[in-house]
């Protein structure tokens, strides 16, 4: 994957300290879209996700906290049950080839 190629990443965390949890949650809301409690989706390049990774690594306690970042496949097919998979008023956009082209807040 080229360093400047954007793709979707899933960021999930389990933080033991309420203060750290709040800081990490507030930070992730500035760089990603919350999709479920403690789970965010980010459209980033490799360099962008590395910046997010570095910031999170500075904030967590590696002995008690867990943060995971997963690259999602380009042809992702989303299935959900129950509540909406994305917050109200948020749509994922796709280009003509079905590739993710970002998010749109309504």
Task: Give the pLDDT confidence of 50-104 residue by residue, as tens digits.
Answer: 999 999 999 999 999 999 999 988 877 766 677 666 666 655 555 445 444 454 4
The answer to whether residue 1 sits within a structural domain is no
Structural domain includes residue 94:
yes
Whether 106 has a pLDDT exceeding 60, the answer reads no
How many distinct structural domains can be found in the chain?
1
pTM: 0.74
Chain-centre distance of CA 12, in angstroms? 7
Q: Are 85 and 35 in contact (CB under 8 A)?
A: yes
Tell me the CATH number at 25. 3.30.70.240
Q: From CA 93, how far away is CA 100, in angstroms rounded?
A: 6
Q: Is residue 62 in a domain? A: yes
Torsion of CA 92, 95, 100, 102, to 10 degrees: -60
In a domain, 55, yes or no: yes
**β-pair partners for 100:** 94
**Which domain range does residue 42 map to?**
7-75+82-105
- The pLDDT value given to residue 105: 41
């Amino acid at each position: 994957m080229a360093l400047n190629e954007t793709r979707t990443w899933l960021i999930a965390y389990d933080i033991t300290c309420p203060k750290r949890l709040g800081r990490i949650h507030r930070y992730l809301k500035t760089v990603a879209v919350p999709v479920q409690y403690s789970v965010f989706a980010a459209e980033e390049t490799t360099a962008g996700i590395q910046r997010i990774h570095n910031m999170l690594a500075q904030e967590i306690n590696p002995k008690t906290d867990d943060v995971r970042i997963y690259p999602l496949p380009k042809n992702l097919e989303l299935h959900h049950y129950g509540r909406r998979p994305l917050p109200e008023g948020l749509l994922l956009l796709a280009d003509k080839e079905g590739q993710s082209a970002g998010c749109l807040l309504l």
